[in-house]
């Protein structure tokens, strides 16, 4: 398994990484984002979605209360899940998980997926690094991760 690590000293670095990863996306992909509250998972998703949907001003709220937000890009449907408040696996089914997997899913708090973790997902683990920066560790997508600079 290929593992890549990136230091993200500021929001622009997070945006840049999100754009690079979005260029490698294809239908059926899942991106699983782990890390503590406030670490930058939603900021990453916002940049990713704005680039894919070709709308730099698009409103991308955190789905903390709705649990899922649906977006359409010129190429495919995208689903942004925030599973922090997910009670059980049945709730995931009610949130159209199976239909979402026919597009692209981005999942915050993927630990709550339990038996629904998609095979071949890209895992992005965020952590604090240095005074104000973040570090991300990417795993999965072996062939495609090699394409990242």
Number of folded domains that form the chain: 1
Helices (H) and strands (E) in the chain, counts: 5, 7
Q: How many CA atoms lie within 13 A of 134 on its CB side?
A: 24
Are 48 and 42 a contacting pair, CB within 8 Å?
no
Query: What pLDDT does 131 receive?
Result: 74
Structural domain boundaries, residue 67: 3-145
Dihedral class, residue 67 (left if φ above 0, else alpha if ψ from -120 to 50, else beta):
left
Where does the chain have alpha helices with state H?
11-22, 41-52, 89-94, 97-100, 142-145
> Which among 18, 13, 20 has a CA at the least distance from the CA of 42?
18
Place of tokens 């560790």: 137
Mind listing the pLDDT tens digit for each residue in 87-122? 777 788 888 898 999 999 999 999 988 888 888 999
Query: What pLDDT does 57 receive?
Result: 87
Place of tokens 């915050």: 108
Q: At 117, which CATH number?
A: 3.40.50.300
Are 106 and 22 a contacting pair, CB within 8 Å?
no
**What does the alpha-carbon distance between residue 149 and residue 146 come to, in Å, rounded to a whole number?**
8
Query: What pLDDT does 42 receive?
Result: 92
Q: Which two tokens stand for residue 41?
A: 């998972």
Query: What pLDDT does 43 receive?
Result: 94
- Res 142 pLDDT > 80: no
- Res 14 pLDDT > 90: yes
Beta-sheet pairing, 3-8 with 30-34 = unpaired
Query: What pLDDT does 52 receive?
Result: 94
The alpha-carbon radius of gyration of the chain (Å, integer) is 14
DSSP state of 40: S
Query: What pLDDT does 4 receive?
Result: 93
Mind listing the pLDDT tens digit for each residue in 32-77? 999 999 899 999 999 999 999 999 888 887 777 788 999 999 989 9
């Amino acid at each position: 398994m290929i593992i890549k690590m990136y230091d993200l000293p500021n929001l622009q670095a997070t945006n840049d990484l999100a754009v690079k990863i979005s260029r490698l996306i294809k239908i059926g992909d899942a991106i699983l984002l782990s890390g503590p509250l406030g670490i930058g998972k939603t900021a990453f998703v916002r940049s990713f979605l704005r680039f894919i949907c070709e709308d730099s001003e698009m409103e991308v709220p955190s789905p903390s209360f709705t649990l899922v937000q649906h977006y359409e890009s010129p190429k495919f449907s995208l689903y942004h899940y925030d599973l922090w408040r997910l009670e059980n696996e049945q709730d995931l089914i009610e949130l159209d998980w199976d239909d979402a997997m026919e597009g692209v899913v981005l999942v915050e708090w993927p630990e709550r997926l339990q038996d629904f973790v998609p095979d071949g997902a890209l895992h992005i683990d965020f952590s604090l690094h240095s005074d104000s920066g973040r570090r991300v560790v990417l795993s999965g997508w072996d062939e495609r991760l090699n394409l990242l600079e």
